[in-house]
Amino acid sequence: MSGPSFQRGYNALKEEIDAPVAAFFSSCVHCGMCAEACLFFTETGDPKYTPIHKLDPLRKVWKQEYTFWGKLAKSLGISKPLTDQDLTDWETLVYDSCTMCGRCSMVCPVGNDLAYMIRKLREGMAVSGHAPPGLVGATRRAINIGSPMGVKLPALQAQIRSVEADTGLKVPLDVENVDYLLLLSSMEIMNFPEFIGAVAKIFDKAGVSWTISSEAFEATNSGIQIGVSDIAAELVQRIVDAAEKLKVKNVISPECGHAYMAIRWEGPNLVGKAFKFKVIHILELLDELRSQGRLKLKDKVESKLTYHDPCQIGRRGGVMEQPRHLLRELARDFVEMPEAGQMNWCCGAGGGVSSNERADDLRLIAFQRKKSQLDQIKVDGLVSACSNCRIHIEDGLEHYHMDLPVLSLTETLAEHLAD
Amino acid sequence: MTDADFLMWVRGPAFNVATVILCAGIVIRILEIFLMGRKPNLAEARGSEMVGGLSTMLHRSLPDAGTFKRSSLTVISGWVFHLGLFVVIFLFVPHILVFEQALGFGWPGLPSNIVDAIAVITIIALLVKLIHRLRDPVLRMLSEFSDYLSWFVTILPVVTGWLAFHRLGAPPPALIAVHILSVELLMVLFPFTKLSHAFTLWIARWYNGAISGYRGVRS
């Protein structure tokens, strides 16, 4: 495969432009409302973080390649073409200050889905050599080792042994013909192994047949974050192969935002064929078990809880009501943050921002938006369903000297499971 | 050329040319979008593209409460001038007569003094838009020559129409001719500037809503 080059990037951008992109750029009236929807703008006040501005390289390609006047101007040599320097200048805007949370896509009065376009712009940025080193490293590890954090099978096996010792339950590995194949994010394996124990407990009580694959346990997909569809497809294909080999009926996406986007919505399109199995988010499955009476709780959480919607699970993924059903059953005092649900504010670290060390300071500045949401409701605990959100929110809370436990919904449910 | 000749020219050949450019331009812009195509979605749908798309086409005209609070000047001035333009273009009786001649049917209009007041409000709202664009750091950064050109060709027919209605500054035939000419300028530039959003935004909104609707969430 040839190395990164501007021409490859330019060609990738040309290929990415489709009818929705053309409709979006044709409709932009430069009203600037998307700025106020972006936490990187609201928390810094810097106009350069205006979402539509971040898309300028893609807009230039659309204009000069696919519009009558743009093509005319190009042929007459009077337009300013996209340059490699433009891509260099835009790198931090496209990767460091955008989590692809899609809040701007909800606000644009003409209906532009800006996050959809950022995802496409990253395809050109990455193959032209303008992706951040942190994400390049994570992607390389995902391809070579199988995990962006470098987690190998022995590490997972060690955590499984530890969970089995703690819970007294068997964590099935490579079992064929079960109903569910559970995927895990590296962060769950390394930072929150309690999640595996929680799933084991819940599934044991609910009588769910499941397994983990030793060949494809990693749910995260650096390919969709950095914007290289070939790599993203290879990572999805590993899961497809494992699911088909084990002959499972469903694949469970764990508590990780972009992993759900990668396997549920992008997955079949990346590998070019519909899946033979269903993809279900862990929250969807837990809510199904709840509605079937298979998720019985012994008591409720007494403290005041709120829920942080991970963008790729909620607004971009469509799993919005299920966590609320579960939380109303679990917590005596569940309150929503202002602008929760579809209009929720991102934690500031999704879309690969957390893998990009260069953006560490900026993501903590952006976290002030979440802080102000939390300041308004004064809760005793925050529940979420994404390890990446959890890690960053914990980091942000510590940075701003806020004492608030950040909980996993699955783990909290397991703690209150009836014996 | 006398004022009367000039008026005849703008009402005849010039108007025909402007109409052809407007219609052909809009067709080109819409074709430019749809000819790009879109890959079929192989992921299993959770909801309906059509329901999501139609819903967003309708709902996106009104912002959510938080967005309204943060962008109130943009939203209010935008609504005022869009509604104002609708009234002065489509509910002014002399305009309705022109449409009636072209289309073969008309509709009731508003009293001229009300349209007159709304024209003034529309001009004020458009001036607010310009000042906002010049002063706000985000808008200033985003703005290009075509944004100011679009603004100019939008306000010009309202101003010339208001002057013609009040017979200010020139003899009536010349005022009417200049007004019609300013409308023709708007018609000619309409498809090739951001003004074409009047047509394309429905497509953009549909795609936005359809992408979310497919995933079972409203956008």
Q: What does the pLDDT look like over A242-277, one tens digit per residue?
A: 999 999 999 999 999 999 999 999 999 999 999 999
pLDDT at position A150 is 87
> How far is Cα A96 from Cα A351, in angstroms, rounded to an integer?
9
CB pairs under 8 A between A and B: 173
CB contact under 8 A, A32 and B57: no
| CA angle, A398 then A401 then A406, to 5° | 50
Return the biggest CA–CA distance within chain B.
Answer: 68
Q: Is A58 helix (H, G, I), strand (E, B) or coil?
A: helix
pLDDT at position A3 is 82
The structure tokens 């980091």 sit at A395
Mean pLDDT of chain A: 96
Over 80: is that where the pLDDT of A145 sits?
Answer: yes
Nearest by CB to B204, which of A27, A32, A279? A27
Nearest by CB to B38, which of A19, A29, A109? A19
Over 70: is that where the pLDDT of B51 sits?
Answer: yes
CB contact under 8 A, A19 and B46: no
> How far is Cα A147 from Cα A256, in angstroms, rounded to an integer?
14
Structure tokens at A251: 């694949």
Closest CA to B69 of A71, A36, A38: A36
Q: Chain A closest CA to B17's CA: distance in Å?
A: 19
Measure Cα distances from A128 to A10, A14, A83, A134 in Å: 8, 13, 11, 16
Per cent of chain A over pLDDT 70 is 100
Instruction: Grade residue A398 by pLDDT with cuts at 50, 70 and 90.
Output: very high
Structure tokens at A135: 């994400």
pTM attached to this predicted model: 0.96
CB contact under 8 A, A107 and B67: yes
pLDDT at position A254 is 97
Over 60: is that where the pLDDT of A1 sits?
Answer: no
CB contact under 8 A, B38 and A275: no
pLDDT at position A2 is 67
Mutate which of A14, A31, A277 to disrupt the B interface (most B C-beta within 10 Å)?
A: A31
pLDDT at position A419 is 84
Measure Cα distances from B196 to A179, B75, B138, B202 in Å: 52, 19, 22, 11
ipTM of model: 0.96
> How far is Cα A372 from Cα A376, in angstroms, rounded to an integer?
6
Q: What does the pLDDT look like over B68-115, one tens digit per residue?
A: 999 999 999 999 999 999 999 999 999 999 999 989 999 999 999 999
Q: Chain A closest CA to B102's CA: distance in Å?
A: 28
Which three-class secondary structure string do you get for A137-178?
Answer: HHHHHHHHCCCCCCCCHHHHHHHHHHHHHHHCCCCCECCCCC
Quote the strand ranges of A55-162, DSSP E: none
Contact indicator for A281, A253 with CB cutoff of 8 Å: yes
| Chain A residues inside the 8 Å CB shell of B67 | 33, 36-37, 107, 343
Identify the DSSP state of A265: I
Q: What does the pLDDT look like over A180-213, one tens digit per residue?
A: 999 999 989 998 999 999 999 999 999 999 999 9
Mean pLDDT of chain B: 96
Contact indicator for A132, A95 with CB cutoff of 8 Å: yes
pLDDT at position A308 is 98
Give the residue-averaged pLDDT of A162-181.
97
Q: Chain A closest CA to B173's CA: distance in Å?
A: 35
Is A62 an 8 Å CB contact of chain B? no
In this structure, the strands spanning A250-253 and A406-408 are unpaired
Give the residue-averaged pLDDT of A220-235.
95
Give the residue-averaged pLDDT of A208-233.
96
CB contact under 8 A, A47 and B137: yes
CB contact under 8 A, B207 and A26: no
Among A133-147, A322-336, A373-387, B141-155, which stretch is predicted with the lowest mean pLDDT? A133-147
CB contact under 8 A, B215 and A317: yes
Nearest chain B Cα to A278, which residue? B44
CB contact under 8 A, B142 and A30: yes
| Chain B residues inside the 8 Å CB shell of A320 | 217
Q: Chain B closest CA to A265's CA: distance in Å?
A: 6
Instruction: Grade residue A412 by pLDDT with cuts at 50, 70 and 90.
Output: very high
Nearest by CB to A66, which of B32, B74, B140? B32
Which three-class secondary structure string do you get for A287-356?
Answer: HHHHHCCCCCECCCEEEEEEECCCCCCCCCCCCCHHHHHHHHHHEEEEECCCCCHHHCCCCCCCCCHHHC
